[in-house]
Amino acid sequence: MATIAPDDHKAYMRLALEQARKSPPKPTNYRVGAVVIDTATNKILATGFTLELPGNTHAEQTCFLKLAEEYQVDEENLRDAPSLPRQLALYTTVEPCSKRLSGNLPCVERVLRLAGLIRTVYVGVMEPETFVAKNTGKKSLEDAGITVVHVAGLEEEILEVATAGHVKG
């Protein structure tokens, strides 16, 4: 996996964007990529992209499912895995969703289960209102003490990748 300097947020966002490009284009999904790092060691712990795993998975969900498998716990018990690093950051190309039309648990709620471990969520773009109007993700995360940071400079490319397969109106 790539070696990225600590706090090179744009490089981590580019890695997340590389993941997003692996997602199949569909008119009903954004192609999103995500990366979880241990900020204490600058180690990449998991990467993921939309629809990487079965079950209409989102990128953040994929990362957490991979971590749960690695640490041999159910995803909902991931925070209790004794060897899981305690200083995490999440990079995601699009703001974590606050509502899932599929009935799956929203990504914001998945991140909130790791509040205190995930201290910062870095986003490339805020969620467009195509699928979820008035996404409350950022506010929910900030209310839980998780800092949300916009990583500027890749918005156009992220949106182009995210909306591949969508009908352009």
Catalytic (active-site) positions:
60
**CA dist., res. 165 & res. 153, Å (int):** 23
- Residue 9, helix vs strand vs coil: helix
- Angle, in degrees to the nearest 10, between helices 59-70 and 9-21: 100
**CA dist., res. 114 & res. 29, Å (int):** 25
**CA dist., res. 128 & res. 130, Å (int):** 6
Report which DSSP code applies to 167: P
